[in-house]
Structure 1
Amino acid sequence: MAGEASAVVDDKGWLYHPYFPDHWKRCPLYSLAQWVNGLAFRNIQFSDSGLPVIKIAEIKGGISGQTKFTRQTFDDAVRVRYGDLLFSWSGQPETSIDAFWWRGPEGWLNQHIFRVTPTEGIDPVFFYYLLRYLKPNFVGIARNKQTTGLGHITKRDLENLEAAYPRLPEQRAIAHILGSLDDKIELNRQMAQTLESIARAIFKSWFVDFDPVKAKMEGKQPEGMSEEIAALFPDRLVDSELEMIPEGWDIATMQDLGTIKGGATPSTKNP
């Protein structure tokens, strides 16, 4: 789905009235879920162990060396558990304001993020895709308030933003189809990542560590390499101004191997 302007535009503008099928029931987005904001943690509350504080950095990149921890206990409403639906409502509009599933360990929710619990009759997965569908609207609303690179979505915005939903069986059908597509996309991403890692490992073996040359120096067939490819590698390493390199190879700069040209800023003057 993609955000579109409503055929009827009132004083609130298209940002607050996205397109939905005619048979869907319309209501304020805010009324479809419980929205619990995170806490504004202070440095004195952090410790070297305990539960992680979940910020946008953790939502997007997981737990890291930059993650803060706390041993204190807070209201259970801001406890984040695996599978919770989170909505980041403040930050750089295009990259931070969005809906996410939390796939990490249990932790505490930081401010500027809502823990979202859909109301009865709203399928959680459908609601996640509803929020993703509304991202262009969120971005546009946040841009209108953007200061120093940051924008935000307020409770008032959620109350003014029109949403819609079909009957529960249709919600679940939509969630199933979109969820299956997302699963395939994630699988393809993981496969591409694996292939990229394999390609990097092969490049390092062949052209940094010179494993095929070293194998031939020992009278062995290079592992995993056809005879035709192996024949392209010499069987000897020789001294160079940098280090030992395959015999017959040369040392050169990128400039020696081709022409490098930078881009230019188009002129704003009339021709």
Structure 2
Amino acid sequence: MKKWKEYKYTEIASLIGGGTPKTTKKAYWNGRIPWLSVKDFCGGSKYVYNTEKTITDLGLINSSTKLLNKDDIIISARGTVGEIAMLPFEMAFNQSCFGIRANNNRILPDYLYYLTKTKVRELQHASHGAVFNTITKNTFENIICQIPPLEQQKQISTILSSLDDKIELNRRINDNL
């Protein structure tokens, strides 16, 4: 069996900053692109499917927001630090969050999601700020991770994902009741 390797978090994932299109420009809002804020994914589900707000292509182009890909991760970085979700399709997001993209040569996106969930307390402990607790890109630089080989990551992620699927199904059943 291959050995696990130690990496800094920033060696296994890229961090992407978000932004907000000018709210006074109506041409930037109510478009086809889902635009995430923390309240959209603070329910504890693995995936976030709906956003309260959407932006237009103009809003995306004319702001600092970025488009995250399917299977990227979103984490709240200010205020309520450590809310986390995975994306089932492309979405843009605000500056109170970081997008996290797996370095696929070292880590699978699903495994990175579960690993990041285990690091939330460490991130919260390292947060700082006078008004709001905040984590920065430098916060992730100090997070050390033990990573198994890709095949083992796949096995672990498959088990955890099946449990999440069952939890989500139960949540939907409860919502219908």
Partner residue, 1:215: none
Partner residue, 1:164: 146
2:80 to 86, 89, 92: 92
Question: Does 1:49 find its partner at 2:30?
Answer: yes
SS at match of 2:111: helix
TM-score using structure 1 length? 0.54
How far has the Cα of 1:78 moved from its partner?
A: 1.3
TM-score using structure 2 length? 0.79
Structure 2 unaligned segments of length 5 or more: list them: 44-49
Question: Does 1:139 find its partner at 2:127?
Answer: no
Letter in 1 for 2:41: I
Going from structure 1 to structure 2, the CA distance change for 1:103 and 1:46 (only over 3 Å counts) comes to farther
2:171 to 168, 184, 189: 189
How far has the Cα of 1:81 moved from its partner?
A: 4.5
Aligned 8 A contact 2:73 2:113 in 1: yes
Aligned 8 A contact 1:53 1:70 in 2: no
Partner residue, 1:154: 136
The percentage of counterpart residues that share the same residue type is 26
Letter in 1 for 2:157: A
Structure 1 unaligned segments of length 5 or more: list them: 1-22, 196-271
Letter in 2 for 1:131: T
Partner residue, 2:46: none
User: 2: CA distance between counterparts of 1:98 and 1:46?
Assistant: 29
Question: Does 1:122 find its partner at 2:122?
Answer: no
How far has the Cα of 1:68 moved from its partner?
A: 5.2
User: 2: CA distance between counterparts of 1:38 and 1:46?
Assistant: 19
How far has the Cα of 1:116 moved from its partner?
A: 1.6
SS at match of 2:24: helix
User: Per-residue displacement from partner, 1:150-201 (whole Å, max 9, x unpaired)?
Assistant: 2111111111111120111111111011111111111122222223xxxxxx
User: 2: CA distance between counterparts of 1:122 and 1:107?
Assistant: 22
Partner residue, 1:248: none
Higher-strand-fraction structure: 2
Aligned 8 A contact 1:46 1:68 in 2: no
Question: Does 1:25 find its partner at 2:19?
Answer: no
Higher relative contact order (CA 8 A, sep 6+): 2
User: Per-residue displacement from partner, 1:105-136 (whole Å, max 9, x unpaired)?
Assistant: x4422212222211113111001000001111
RMSD (Å) for aligned C-alpha atoms? 2.6
User: Per-residue displacement from partner, 1:79-107 (whole Å, max 9, x unpaired)?
Assistant: 134443222222223xxx23211246x44
SS at match of 2:30: coil
